Structure 1
Amino acid sequence: MTEIPTQWRKSSHSGGNGGDCVELAHAPATLLVRDSKNPDGPVLHFGTTGFTDFLRTLKEV
């Protein structure tokens, strides 16, 4: 299991009004994504290719 880092940053594409926000963090060979309103909730783990595919899919929706 990937160790959860303590250094998270809010996505520049998140809304500034406290609404739909995601935070990103880097771990070795993994990009982590979580809901900033629920920091103790689930964390998505992506490899480089997986994250690129995830973003492409979101843009198509």
Structure 2
Amino acid sequence: MTAVKRRGNGNVLHLMASVNRHLATAAIKTAARSDIEVMPVILNLMDVTAPKSKTRQGSH
């Protein structure tokens, strides 16, 4: 993320990064509290945030 050159969308990328980080930490805390394994939660979070998964699921 630090290698991205900041032009018009620099602030948006920074916002997205902080939001994703917040969601990831929240998911880890929730998983730790609920005795759920952390890795599947992180993978699911990455699947949700990845734009590729949307096109794959929506190609029915």
TM-score (norm 1): 0.27
Structure 1 or 2, whichever has the larger Rg, is 2
Considering Cα pairs closer than 8 Å and 6+ residues apart, tell me whether 1 or 2 has the greater RCO: 1
